[in-house]
Each structure stands twice: as structure tokens, then as C-alpha cells.
Structure 1
Amino acid sequence: MTYALYYSPGAASMAVHWMLLEAGIPFEARLINIDEGAQHDPEYRRLNPAGRVPTLIVDGVPRHESAALLMLLAERHPDAGLAPAPGSPDRAEWFELMVFMANTVLPAMRDWFYADEDGDPAGAEAVQALAQRRIEQSWERLDALVADGRNWLVGGKLSTADFLAVMLMRWSRNLPCKATNWPYLVPYIQRLRALPSFIELNTREGLSNWSNPAS
């Protein structure tokens, strides 16, 4: 099994990068700086016609969509234990959360950040207002889920759902609806940010603006 990850620091590739590090899966990291427009380079667009990250080369074939890539890696590397096993009673909740974040939270985040680019700029304010409500409702749902004191979202173990959720929560750090406004999400976020793999991820991507305070 061979992998090459095309990523941009802090972007939608972050969860996949994190999973590869946590699972100890060998891969080659290839930087695509979206702030400099590298995602529009013709060479990259041949790999990813949408011009977005991540792209993961899986045994020579380019694959896309962060949630799908997390699920694919969990399937290809079951020994990493980052998804409930087929037949497990926690498997249905894992599917539900992964699809919820892919179908609800990710699109709402895109609507917030790209309201004036993806649609009519005259309607951007209304699009952002709707996106904010959807993001807030998402944090309420996840806050209620971890209110029972669980350490992780599914099955009492770290999983791909945690990687995806924390990446999305990080994106909210400068939004009116930041995830840290929800009380039960705060210790959950701090727990995930304390993982050595998250710290390594931030070091590799050159990120320092959403870490736990130094003790």
C-alpha cells in the first residue's frame, strides 16, 4: 500500500494528514499552498479537477473528499482501530456521524467562508447567516453527545469521526459560532489537542494558533 497526500496547512486535508500520522501509516506529503493558488495549477487539476485538497494518491490512483478518505483508510488499515469494526454495535453511529459531518458541517463551513465566491455576492450575507445557524446546530448536537463525559465521539475509542470533528471545530476558531463556546466541547477539544499526533500534525503543517496552552 502506497500513499501520497496533497495537503494545504489547516485545510480540509488536515484530518487525513492527522489520521496518517496517528496510525503510523507511511506516506509522502506534498504541499499545495491554497493561499497562493497552487490548487489551480494545471498539473494539480489533472489529479483533482475540482482544484481542492485533499488528494490522496492510493496505489497510484488519485482519490478525493476528506470524509471518504478517512473511511477508506480505516477500511484499508483495520489494525489501527480508527473505526468500529463491521458488525460492531458502534458501527451505525460511526457511519451516521461521518455522513453528518460530511453532508452538514462541511458544506455549512464552505458556505460561510466562500459565500461571496460560490454564489451571488449580493446574497452572501444571507448565505452566511444560514451557514452560521447550521454550524451552531451542529455544535449543539456534538456538545450534547459528549455531555455524558465520553472521551471520544464513538465507541469509547479514538476514531476518524474525532479527526474530522476537531478539524471542523478548528475552522470555527474565528467565527461567531466557535466550537469552544459550547461547554462540553471544550474538554473534548483539549483532550484531542493534547494527543502527540495532533501536536506533530501542527508542527508539520506549521500551525500554532489553536493549541492547548503550555503547562
Structure 2
Amino acid sequence: MYKLFYYPRNASWAPHMLLEEIGATYELVLVDRKSEEQKSSEYLKLNPTGRIPTLAYGDSVIFESAAICLHLCDEHPQSSVIPDIGDPSRPEFYQWLFYLTTSIQPELMLYFYPNKHTSSVDTAESISETQEKRITEMFGLVDKQLENKEFLIGNRLSVCDFFLFMLSHWASGFKTPPLSFEHLGRYLKDLAKRSSVKNVCEVEGTNLDAYTQTN
């Protein structure tokens, strides 16, 4: 059985939704960020980076949310949440997975934690303002990609969709939130109807009311 060490709406969110989608047997282990449990000596034995999430199964342990998801794809190929080798959409899958996890996600981290990059309060506020504009432009690019499409990659659900849902929700407090984009907003509302997303959000205490509203 898999053990997912998680915290609600943290970077563990995408792996949690994926585990639910593929029907894997798993156990959730809460890592309390409020008390910095991820920095405890016990947790650091599992994940020396002191970050969430971590996936344990048998004698194996893996961290980094994208790595966890790709590993789950390898372990459950019947789930079809990654294009097959040789499928024309597989390169596009890697392209967007890395754009989401190595471009948009780090930019969001800088937006949320500017104080880690400067000792000046004024500079920190300026960083967040600049980051919001930059990330909004990035979501604009994704919005164009989703025109006339149900999913980000091809015509079927993939791991990328769970990451895009997670990152979009993180940016829900923006002046121009992802839900306000024409194509991205429609796409997010459709994803929010999936049982895997609803089940995970119920467990993690995430309110989906915003995704059910009509304009």
C-alpha cells in the first residue's frame, strides 16, 4: 500500500488526486506544516529536503510531486494518465508537465514567499506584485492552449491536468484568477466535476463552490 505524506492543498495535492483517479490503494499521513512537522528529524529521515509530499511504499521512498506522479504512471500503466511511448502527444505531455512544475510552480513560490529572496519588506511586496503579473501572463498562455480542448494534452485526462488544477487554485486570489479566463475557467470547472477531484477536495477540506458558479 502507498503512503502519501501530505498537507491539504500543498504540492501533495496533485499526487493525491492522481492516486484517487487511478484507483490505487493508499493511506494518507498528515504532515502538519503549522508545527513544521516536515522539518522534524523523523520526517527528514524520509525526505531530507524537509518538504511535502513524500510517497512511501514497501521499502521505497520517493519525494518531489512530479516524480511521484510519473512513478505512479509507470506502476499503473493501465490508468492511461500518460500518453504511451510512441504516441504523438507524449512529447507534448513532457513539455507541459515541465512547464507547469518547473516554470509556473516556482514562480508561484516566489509570489507566495518573496521574503525568502530579500530582507526588505518593501522589496518583498514589489516582488509579489511583479510575480502576479508574470504568472497571470503564463496562465494566459495556457488559456490559449485550452481553446476547443477538454484536457491539456490531446483528448484525454493526463497527470498534467491535476497539476494545472492545483496551480490554478493556488492562484485563485489573483486580481485576474485562472477561473476568469475563458478557456481555462471552463476547463477548471469541468475538472472540478470529476469524482477523483471532488473526493480529494472533500478529504482535504477544499471548497469547490467557485467552480460551480455560472457567469
TM-score normalised by length of structure 2:
0.92
Most deviating of 5-14 and 27-36: 27-36
Q: Distance in 1 between matches of 2:110 and 2:209?
A: 22
**Which residue of the partner structure matches residue 126 of structure 1?**
126
Query: Partner of 1:146 in structure 2?
Result: 146
- Aligned pairs for 1:1-215 (under 5 A) are 2-116=1-115, 118-122=116-120, 123-147=123-147, 149-208=148-207, 212-213=211-212
Q: Identify if the C-alpha distance between structure 1 residues 86 and 112 changes in structure 2 by more than 3 Å, giving closer, same or farther.
A: same
* Structural RMSD (CA): 1.7
Contact 1:140 / 1:182 at 8 angstroms: preserved in 2?
yes
> How big is the shift at 1:209?
5.3
Change (3 A) 1:214 1:177: closer
* Runs of 5+ unmatched residues, structure 2: none
- Given the superposition, is the C-alpha separation of residues 109 and 39 from structure 1 closer, same or farther in structure 2, using an over 3 Å criterion? same
Q: Deviations over 1:66-108 (max 9, x none)?
A: 1121112112211001010111000000000001111111101
Gaps of 5+ in 1: none
Separation in structure 2 between the aligned mates of residue 50 and residue 210 of structure 1, nearest angstrom? 34
In 2, Cα distance between equivalents of 1:92 and 1:110: 26
Does the 8 Å CA contact 1:193/1:211 hold for their aligned counterparts? no
- Aligned amino acid, residue 95 of structure 2: E
Code of the aligned partner of 2:18: M
Q: 1:36: Cα distance to partner?
A: 3.0
Q: Tell me the SS of whatever aligns to 2:144.
A: helix
State the Cα distance separating 1:177 from its structure 2 match: 3.9
Q: In the TM superposition, what is the alpha-carbon distance from 1:127 to its structure 2 partner?
A: 2.5
- Deviation beyond 4 Å, 4+ runs, structure 1: none
Question: How many percent identity over aligned positions?
Answer: 28
**Separation (CA, whole Å) in 2 of partners of 1:101 and 1:210:** 24
Kindly state the Cα deviation for residue 50 of structure 1 after the two structures are TM-superposed.
1.9
Q: Name the TM-score, length of structure 1 as normaliser.
A: 0.92
CA displacement at 1:214 relative to structure 2: 8.0
Q: Distance in 2 between matches of 1:102 and 1:88?
A: 22
Q: Which moved more, 1:176-185 or 1:163-172?
A: 176-185
